Amino acid sequence: MSTWLSNAWYVAAWDREVDSRPLARTICGVPMMFYRKLDRGIVAMRDACPHRLLPLSMGLREGDSIRCRYHGLKLGPDGVAEEMPLRSEKANKGICAEVFAVVERYRFVWVWVGEKEKADPALIPDLWPCSAKGWRFDGGYFEIASDYRLAVDNLMDLTHETYVHTGSIGQPEILHAPIETFVKGEQVFVRRWMPGVEAPPFWAEALRKQGQVDRWQICQFMLPCAVIIDVGVAPVGAGATVEQHDQGVRGFVIDVMTPQDETSHHYFWGMARNFDIDDDGFTARFRQQQGGVFLQDKEVLEARQRAIEANPHMKLSAYNIDEGGTRARQIIARAIKVQRQQPETEGAAK
Ligand code: FES
Ligand SMILES: [Fe+2]
C-alpha cells in the first residue's frame, strides 16, 4: 500500500528540463521517461521497452518516435510499435509501451499516474502566481532521500527557520507571532499575521522603504502535495489585512513534492514575486540564495528519514507547532482511503 494518492497530478519536471532527449524519472514508483515531440508537445512513457525491458530513455529519437537501443523496436509517441526488430516482420500494433497523461502548466510538467480516464486537468492544484501576469517565477529541483510527507511537516511549520536556517531567513520574531491553523475543504492553512513590525532587510529593500510594516506568512497545503507560502509586507496603514494584502510587496514560496518511492521524493521549489519582475539579476541571485536555504532543509529531512528507519519503535510526536503538518497528513490519508474504497480503483493504487 502506497503512502501517496495515485489518482492525482504530480509534477514530473520543470518545463525546461524536458527536451528532445528523453529524461528518465521515477514518479510514484513508476519508471517514466519524458521527451518533446517536434511540435514541443510532451510524451510521457513507461521507461521500459516492451521487448526485453531496456529503459527506453536510453533509446534513439527518430522524428516523434523512440527506437530502443537494444534491438531496435520503434515506438510512436502513443507507445505503439511502428517497426519490429526484424524489419521484414510487420509491426504488431498490439505491442505497446504504457503512456501517461501529461500537461504543462505553471512552468511544470504534470503527469497522472493513476486511472487514465480520471486524468482531468482541472484537478491540477492552483499555483496561479507561477504564471500570472505581473508575477515572475523561477526556482530549482532537488532529489531528497526522504518520505515526501516529511517535507510537508517541514513546510507547514516555519518555526524550524530559526534553527535550521540560522543566519539566512531565521528570525526570532517568527517564534513569537501567534499562528492560526485551519482547514478549508482539502486545503490546510497556517497563518501568521505580524502587524506593525520593523521591515526585515530583504523586504525593506523590495518595498524601497524603511520603517514599520504589516507582515504575513501564510502556508497553504494542497493535494496531492504542494505547499505554497504567501509572504510579504505592506506599509502600516496601507490597509493590508490577513485576507487581502496586495498593497505592498508579495511573494509565494512554491514547493511541490512528488514521491519517487516510499523513502525519496522529487522537490521542485521556487519563488514567484510581484516586485522587480524584470530584474533578471535579482531572479538569479534569489534562486541561488533560496537553493542554499533549501539545501539546509534537505539535510534535515534526509537525517530524519535515517533516524526514523534506525528507531522503528519510535513514533513522531506532534506538538502545537505541528498542527498544520498533521492536518495535511490527515487529508492525504483520507484521500488515499477514499480512493481505495472506490471499487473501480482496485489494483490501481500501488
Ligand atoms: S529490448 Fe528493446 S528492442 Fe529488445
Ligand atoms: Fe526550511
pLDDT tens track for 109-165: 999 999 999 999 999 999 999 999 999 999 999 999 999 999 999 999 988 888 898
Counted residue by residue, the chain has a size of 350
68 CB within 6 A, ligand 1: yes
Q: Do domains 9-121 and 130-340 have the same CATH topology?
A: no
Confidence of residue 210 (pLDDT cuts 50, 70, 90): confident
Closest CA to 12 of 149, 141, 130: 141
Q: How confident is the model at residue 349 (pLDDT cuts 50, 70, 90)?
A: very low
Which of 47, 49, 95 should be mutated for ligand 1, with most atoms under 8 A from CB? 49
Q: pLDDT tens digit string along 211-220?
A: 899 999 999 9
Q: Is 116 in the pocket of ligand 1 (CB under 6 A)?
A: no
Q: Ligand 1 atom 3: the closest Cα is on which residue?
A: 71
For the CA of 72, the nearest ligand: 1
Find the ligand nearest to 163 CA: 2
The stretch 186-214 carries a mean pLDDT of 92
Q: Which atom of ligand 1 is nearest to the CA of 73?
A: 3
Helices of type H across the chain: 148-155, 161-164, 172-176, 201-207, 280-310, 323-341
Scored b (16 or more CB within 10 A) or e, 137-168 reads bbbeeeebebbbbbbbbbbbbbbbbeebbeee
Does 54 sit in the ligand 1 pocket, CB within 6 Å?
Answer: yes
Across the chain, what does the average pLDDT equal? 94
**Which ligand has the minimum distance to the alpha carbon of residue 168?**
2
Please say whether the structural domain 9-121 has been given the CATH code 2.102.10.10: yes
CA of 51 to the centre of ligand 1 (A): 5
Q: What is the mean pLDDT of residues 5-23?
A: 98
Q: Is 306 in the pocket of ligand 1 (CB under 6 A)?
A: no
Q: Which atom of ligand 1 is nearest to the CA of 53?
A: 1
> Per-domain residue ranges for the chain?
9-121, 130-340
Q: Answer yes or no: CATH 3.90.380.10 is held by domain 130-340.
A: yes
Q: Whose CA is nearest to atom 1 of ligand 1?
A: 52
Helical H segments across 183-322, by residue range: 201-207, 280-310
Nearest CA to ligand 1 atom 4: 71
pLDDT at 167 over 80: no
Between CA 197 and CA 262 the distance in angstroms is: 42
The answer to whether residue 348 scores a pLDDT higher than 60 is no
CA torsion angle 232 125 42 251 (round to 10): 0
What average pLDDT does this structure show over 299-320? 96
**Confidence (pLDDT) at 346:** 45
